[in-house]
Amino acid sequence: MDTSGPAIVEMLRNRLNAEIIERRCLPDERDQLACCFSVWSRPEFAIDLVVSTGGTGLAPRDVTPEAAMSVIERQHPGLMELARLRCMAKTPRTFLSRGVAGTIGRTLILTLPGSLKGSTENLEALLDILPHAIETLRGEVQDDGRPDATSVSGKVVRHER
């Protein structure tokens, strides 16, 4: 039973004011996962963020990172590095996750651990930076490296000094 998926949906809705376009449970099949990442990233769907949970561990059937990397155009390793660093105080097991982040066109792909605790803690670690990442991908803000942007109703607002 998938418990992490509903929790991630709730976090995205409540914390980022995200509209959830689709939620689907998929088997641990590399080709099927890669196809879904590709389809959901098509420009006509205008999906900003695709988040997957599960399949990022060390088990033989954990193929989600490989599926994502087979279709990702630009890697963004810093996002999952940040998640692991922020989660390491809670458990060193965070470093067993092979989660990846990257973009296909203007869609950001995140692959989170499958456990409820792991997925929610990893997403929590990224919530403050995701609005700026998404707005930058949309071309709506300049990525000038300033850490002074906050999300208001899903839009990034600059704080002038």
CATH of the domain at 130: 3.40.980.10
Adjacent-strand bridge partners of 112: 53
pLDDT tens column, 44-85: 999 999 999 999 999 999 999 999 999 999 999 999 999 999
Number of domains in the chain: 1
Cα separation, 112 vs 121, whole angstroms = 9
* Residue 3 · residue 119 · CB < 8 Å: no
Ramachandran category for residue 156: left, alpha or beta (phi over 0 → left; psi -120 to 50 → alpha): beta
- pTM for this entry: 0.86
* Residue 38 · residue 104 · CB < 8 Å: yes
pLDDT tens column, 100-114: 999 999 999 999 999
Q: Look up the domain containing 140 and give its range.
A: 4-158
Cα separation, 9 vs 20, whole angstroms = 7
